[in-house]
Amino acid sequence: MQTPRLLASAFTVAGNAVPLDEKTISPHSLEERAQAAAQAGYVGIGLSNDDLEHLVDKHGYAEIKQIIADAGLQYLEFEVLLDWFADGERRALSDIERRKFLNAAEKLDACNIKVSGDIMGTTWPLDHMIASFAELSRQAGEAGTQVSIEVYPESNIRDLPTALAIAQGAGSPHGGLLLDIWHVNRGNIDYSEIAAMPREYLKHVELDDAGPLEGSIMEDTLNRRRLPGEGDFDIAGFLRAVAATGYDGVYGVEILSETQRQLFPAEAAQRSFDATMAQFAKA
């Protein structure tokens, strides 16, 4: 296994910024977060949609790009685009976010945009999901980036066969899947399914850990993730399954928890980086 390249996903070093709040903006400057991530050993960083919009208004694209470069980071990702397959008002609002993400990706050389399936409980025909993802993937390619569907047990893209059917049907080198060990385990996806999947459809991988499920999946997802090695997941087994595909991209470290949100970026970055690298050593 090659030396892993780790990316600090948006909320890992954002401090007290809670996903799905009315406005999810980090109280810490981009400079502080970027420098903390780089000094810990990360090669990239993530930004949430509200945070990205706030930073563009504050700095402009050129200054954001310079801040990332001055810190020594090579990769930048955005999250998360919802309702890219929807219609009506949901789609209209999603298209506004889509244009923001794609424009920013082109200007900032972002490597990845995370997208999600339907989390509102609506059922969509598979052909419709495929056509929608094909369009989104094409647009991502035109912007010089990629889009990755996060397979999530509380969405309509909750298992690997469905996710692969959408990615394969879209047939774009600029679109594929994101596998987060959290959602893989909570969704009861067997690691052998991952090891057998075609490499070209695996676009991004995320790492974290957890104890037993507490409350709803959504509450658990947003508030109780643990650092790799502090929970019950077989992280080494997951990493071996990912390696079996031939995946050689960056690994996001996504720690969404009440504990992590209380840390300043420097401590949050170093603790999460060290814990994750220890798991690669075990694998």
Note whether 44 and 111 are within 8 A (CB): yes
pLDDT at position 125: 98
In a domain, 1, yes or no: no
Nearest to 155 by CA among 140, 166, 145: 166
**CA distances to 132, 249, 254, 257 from 179, in Å:** 20, 12, 12, 19
Which DSSP letter does residue 188 get? T
pLDDT at position 253: 98
Question: What CATH number is attached to the domain comprising 277?
Answer: 3.20.20.150
Q: How far is residue 124 CA from its own chain's centroid? A: 23
**CA distances to 81, 99, 231 from 182, in Å:** 19, 29, 11
In a domain, 45, yes or no: yes
pLDDT in tens, 85-106: 999 999 999 999 999 999 999 9
Q: How far is residue 241 CA from its own chain's centroid? A: 19
pLDDT at position 189: 98
In a domain, 267, yes or no: yes
Number of domains the chain is built from: 1
Note whether 154 and 188 are within 8 A (CB): no
Sign of the torsion formed by the C-alpha atoms of 65, 70, 73 and 78: negative
> Beta partners for 44?
7, 75
pLDDT at position 3: 87
pTM, rounded to two decimals: 0.96
pLDDT beneath 50: ranges in the chain: none
Range of the domain at 177: 6-282
**Using alpha carbons only, what angle is made at residue 105 by residues 99 and 109, rounded to the nearest 5 degrees?**
165
In a domain, 207, yes or no: yes
